[in-house]
Amino acid sequence: MPDLKTVVADIAEEMRTRPDRGEVATYIPELAGVDPNQFGMAVIDAEGEVAVGGDADVPFSIQSVSKVFTLTLALGKIGDRLWRHVGREPSGSAFNSIVQLEYEGGVPRNPFINAGAIAVTDQILAGHEPREALGEILRFMHFIADDTSITIDEKVAASERRTGFRNAALANYMKSFGVLQNPVDYTLGVYFHHCSIAMSCRQLAMAGRFLAWRGKNPTTGHSVVSPERARRINAIMLTCGHYDGSGEFAYRVGLPGKSGVGGGILAIAPGIASIAVWSPGLDSVGNSHLGRIALETLTKRMGWSIFGD
């Protein structure tokens, strides 16, 4: 078995010098200014050893990676009743697409496209003030990452709110079908803020550990979710975590993963590792270009694809 630390250091070096870096997201103005030359990677193994490479300690906007954690929280809160408000099938369309919503009665395909994540956020908000719901989400991040320094980047949140016309359209459309229960502004406010959580690769890999080790933090032994729930969240990450690039991600990387337009990806090798990569340049469907290539290289060299080596 190749040495993990060497493999991660090699990949970081290979990615640092690659000329093809994808395009940084510009529809959120605050993200448009991020330097595309950055690359970070952090891998935590079953012993709790952390292998890092490149800009692994630079915080970035986790964006849609936050949807894994809001899904976990919402399932904890209302269990399988969540599936009345959101489906769990791949969408085969863009992360911010509205077309399926009309055909399917305002119920979004899955919790990882924007419409689905907004519906999930609406469930976390139910019965709370937006500030309380956000506090709950942030405390959950602190708990699973063992790190109370994780915060929300208010500038990114404000930038998203100013330009979030598409998300406002999705939310209003769902509201018209009765899928959202709270005032649209409240739900969107919480959604924009959880997308604006800033974390480094090291922090994100720490936060993902419960998904790699049957719902438990392997270091403290604290249980976050049941093994069954961890398995199911991983399944949704595999089938829906990269929007209409999910098939390609499974084909090339072979791990459950969730991407965000900030260029981050959380990937889970069940029983083996929790992995975070970050490179801000995106491919044509909005997933990190070098992040995916780095993960493909890692799984190939380590033999970690869930489909075999």
Distances, alpha carbon 45 to alpha carbons 3, 272, 286, in Å: 12, 6, 28
Please identify the residue of the shown chain whose CB is closest to the bound ligand GLN.
64
- The smaller minimum CB distance to ligand GLN, of residues 53 and 260, is found at 260
Q: Among this protein's residues, is 64 annotated catalytic?
A: yes
Q: How far is the CB of 297 from ligand GLN (least distance, A)?
A: 23
Q: How far apart are CA 110 and CA 134, in angstroms?
A: 22
Among 8, 67, 68, 253, the active-site one is: 67
Q: Among this protein's residues, is 243 annotated catalytic?
A: yes
Q: Among this protein's residues, is 261 annotated catalytic?
A: yes
- The smaller minimum CB distance to ligand GLN, of residues 40 and 245, is found at 245
Q: How far is the CB of 197 from ligand GLN (least distance, A)?
A: 11
Buried b (16+ CB within 10 A) or exposed e, 63-95: bbbbbbbbbbbbbeeeeeebeebbbbebbeebb
- In sequence order, the β-bridge partners of residue 41 are 53, 277
- The smaller minimum CB distance to ligand GLN, of residues 160 and 283, is found at 160
Q: How far is the CB of 119 from ligand GLN (least distance, A)?
A: 13
- The two beta strands, 264-269 and 273-278, are antiparallel
Among 50, 184, 191, 200, the active-site one is: 191
Q: Among this protein's residues, is 27 annotated catalytic?
A: no
> Is there a contact between 71 and 40 (Cβ–Cβ < 8 Å)?
no
> Is there a contact between 125 and 180 (Cβ–Cβ < 8 Å)?
no
Q: How far is the CB of 210 from ligand GLN (least distance, A)?
A: 21
Q: Among this protein's residues, is 67 annotated catalytic?
A: yes
Residues of the chain by 3-state class (helix, strand, coil), percent to 5: 50, 15, 35
- For ligand GLN, the binding residues (CB under 6 A) are 63-64, 95-96, 114, 160, 167, 195, 260-261, 286
Among 243, 253, 258, 279, the active-site one is: 243
- The smaller minimum CB distance to ligand GLN, of residues 25 and 42, is found at 25
Q: Is 122 helix (H, G, I), strand (E, B) or coil?
A: helix
Active site residue ranges: 64, 67, 191, 243, 261
